[in-house]
Amino acid sequence: MTASGTFRIGGDLEVRRLGFGAMHLLPESAEARAACIAVARRAVELGVTLVDTAHMYGWGANEDLVVEALHPYPEGLVIATKVGFRRTSSGEGWRHAGEPDDLRTQVDEALRRLRLDRIELLQLHRLDPGVPLADQLGALRELRDEGKVGRIGLSEVTVAELAEARAVVDIASVQNRYNLLDREHEPVLKACEAAGIAFLPWRPVAWGDSGARSAEIAAVAKELDATPTQIALAWLLAHSPVILPIPGTANIAHLEENVRAEAVRLGQDQYNRLSRASGSA
């Protein structure tokens, strides 16, 4: 870790701690597409250096939009993506896809879609319960050794799964559901802290309704002349130096609101009150 506003993923890939989740950029019309492209470009204009996408977000459509908006990528911009799912025409519309050959194919597909020679942060979207973990991560390790992947991350894992994964390959990041009012994965966060692993919380502001769900968040927001969303993000940044929030939006005003959360400074008493808001200090 360097200064409070940045973090080195894997010990060497420096990014601004407040990133951007591109998941919501899935337009259904030409007009909406133009608006989504404008949001992605505005994020970079505001200094965001970590953009998080995934093959599952529109089955490649989200990655395609990121390319249209941002390629050729500015120096220092990290495009992180995820593999591990395949689209199906039955059931829930998807299946796990952690077979080594399939993962290799998915990475090659992502490289082509994103117009990259190397994916600096590749995340396994979910562990495939039908494939030995060592086989899944062994394939990603080989891709890293070949230079197609820079660093490997995981998503929605337990402390035990993280430990098992680290016995196979270096893990640079973990992306679990986590926010001020939902701290089920606090033990995973603590494990990441101990190992210097980046923790990217998805759903970092509880779908933006934090102020309605917590009088304490609303009170602190009023004290600091900030919005409840900004307070929720500021708490994440203060809670752990390894947290890299990736709030997502398809609205420029909301994007700018999120980025301004970096300037919100919680006093110790305010931080403590917020920490008690979900029943745990």
Per-residue pLDDT tens digits for 156-206: 999 999 999 999 999 999 999 999 999 999 999 999 999 999 999 999 987
Domains identified in the chain, total number: 1
Which residue range(s) make up the domain with 116?
6-208+241-251
Indicate if the pLDDT at residue 208 is higher than 80.
Answer: no
Residue 213's pLDDT band, with cuts at 50, 70 and 90, is: low
- Once rounded to an integer, what is the mean pLDDT over residues 268-279? 89
- Once rounded to an integer, what is the mean pLDDT over residues 218-238? 97
Per-residue pLDDT tens digits for 107-156:
999 999 999 999 999 999 999 999 999 999 999 999 999 999 999 999 99
Task: Name the pTM for this structure.
Answer: 0.94
Tell me whether residue 51 is in a domain. yes
- Once rounded to an integer, what is the mean pLDDT over residues 250-264? 97
pLDDT at 3: 41
Residue 1's pLDDT band, with cuts at 50, 70 and 90, is: very low
Average pLDDT, rounded, for the chain = 94
| Residues above pLDDT 70, as percent of the chain | 95
Tell me whether residue 110 is in a domain. yes
Nearest to 120, CA basis, from 152, 85, 96, 92: 152
DSSP letters along the chain, please?
Answer: --STTEEEETTTEEEESS-EE-TT---SSHHHHHHHHHHHHHHHHTT--EEE--TTTTTTHHHHHHHHHHPSPPTT-EEEEEE-EEE-SSTTSEEE---HHHHHHHHHHHHHHHT-S-EEEEEESS--TTS-HHHHHHHHHHHHHTTSEEEEEEES--HHHHHHHHTTS---EEE-B-BTTB-TTHHHHHHHHHHT-EE--BSTTGGGTHHHH-HHHHHHHHHTT--HHHHHHHHHHHH-TTB----B-S-HHHHHHHHHGGG----HHHHHHHHTTTT--
57 is catalytic: yes
Give dist(CA 271, CA 92) in Å, integer: 40
CATH number, position 14:
3.20.20.100
Indicate if the pLDDT at residue 210 is higher than 90.
Answer: no
pLDDT at 280: 46
Residue 33's pLDDT band, with cuts at 50, 70 and 90, is: very high
Tell me whether residue 232 is in a domain. no
Give dist(CA 114, CA 197) in Å, integer: 25
pLDDT at 97: 95
Tell me whether residue 223 is in a domain. no
Tell me whether residue 234 is in a domain. no
Tell me whether residue 273 is in a domain. no
Indicate if the pLDDT at residue 62 is higher than 80.
Answer: yes
Backbone Cα Rg of the chain: 18
Both tokens of 230, joined, read: 């900004």
Tell me whether residue 14 is in a domain. yes
- Once rounded to an integer, what is the mean pLDDT over residues 38-52? 98
Residue 2's pLDDT band, with cuts at 50, 70 and 90, is: very low
Per-residue pLDDT tens digits for 7-25:
999 999 999 999 999 999 9
Tell me whether residue 67 is in a domain. yes
Q: Which residues contact 279 (CB under 8 A, 6 or more apart)?
A: none
